[in-house]
Amino acid sequence: MQEFDIIDSFFRTRSHQRRDVEVGIGDDCAVTQVPEGQSLCTTTDTLVEGVHFPKDTPVQAIAEKAMAVNLSDLAAMGAEPAWVSLSLSLPEVDECWLNAFSNGIQQMCEYYGVQLIGGDTVRGPLSITITAQGFVPNEQALTRSHARPGDWLYVTGTLGDAGLALDYLNGKRQLPLNARNEVLTRFQTPTPRVLTGTALRRIASSCIDVSDGLVADLHHILHASGCGASIQLEKLPLSEAMRASVSEEDAFEYALNSGDDYELLFTVSEEQKGNLELALAAACVSATCIGQLNGKTGKVELRHGEQPYSSRGHGYEHFS
């Protein structure tokens, strides 16, 4: 199969359709409409085999994760996803692989109401680059730069499960079967918190998704906002799989430093805490308050009870 055969067979004919797409796959550019009163948010992420996912990862999981990490970025801005473009590098044409991959892409598109509007296909090492675009009402985008000392620090879901799964896949951990299945699902097919992101508009003072580790990503908020933060370790949300598999200290390290959780880390002022509870209840989402911001610019203080805690990790670094 040649490039345009691949596009026609596995992507154009299966694409979820939106009314705001005037020209989709098959032309030099896609043509789309941005609704009045909305701002356009755009993000791009690349997943490379052997770097971002192991070589034996199920094909559909690769597709779902490639979509999820981009939709998670939109969620962190409070944006509603609309369109995605796909650049796919393949070492060879494997029709079974392409069928499973395109099924994964289209299932995510259907679920989140997103249309695949274009991209590129080339020969090379296996890598997937997705550009995702979405809408947020004018002047309501969540950013990293409006947190203030005194704001409360929250995170959705549970932390560290993806890091625990990766250590299992790399032979560094043995896990009970139930725990294994739970954390592998969290690692291979993370859930982008799109509904939570839209619920946080006008409530959160800052927001980021946890992709490189809680502390590492928190530093981005602190530097952008000129704040510091204090985290209480006993408040970190840990899954039952995590608690059943490792010591408390190791669980803290996974929660603080391992990447690929794709939960939302956000700050809320004291005045907005009541509105937050109402918004989370309406969205049927849980979030945990894990600490508070202070005026110690760029510094993260970790405490276990009344005692200071020193972490041995540093988060994921792309070029370490």
Domain ranges of the chain: 3-137, 152-308
List binding-site positions for Mg(2+). 28, 43-45, 73, 120, 209, 212
List binding-site positions for ATP. 119-120, 144, 211
Contact (CB, 8 A) for 140 and 48: no
Q: Which residues of the chain have pLDDT under 70?
A: 1-4, 7-10, 12-14, 313-320
List binding-site positions. 28, 43-45, 52, 73, 119-120, 144, 209, 211-212, 260, 316
Contact (CB, 8 A) for 196 and 268: no
- Can you name the CATH fold of 3-137? 60s Ribosomal Protein L30; Chain: A; (3.30.1330)
CB atoms within 10 A of CB 277: 13
Cα distance between residue 285 and residue 156, in whole Å = 8
Q: Which CATH architecture has domain 152-308?
A: Alpha-Beta Complex (3.90)
pLDDT at 312: 76
Considering the entire predicted model, what is its pTM? 0.93
pLDDT at 282: 86
List binding-site positions for substrate. 52, 260, 316
- In sequence order, which residues have a C-beta less than 8 Å from that of residue 23 and are 6 or more positions away? 29, 30, 31
pLDDT at 174: 93
pLDDT at 319: 41
- In sequence order, which residues have a C-beta less than 8 Å from that of residue 42 and are 6 or more positions away? 131, 132, 133
The distance from CA 250 to its chain's CA centroid, rounded to whole angstroms, is 23
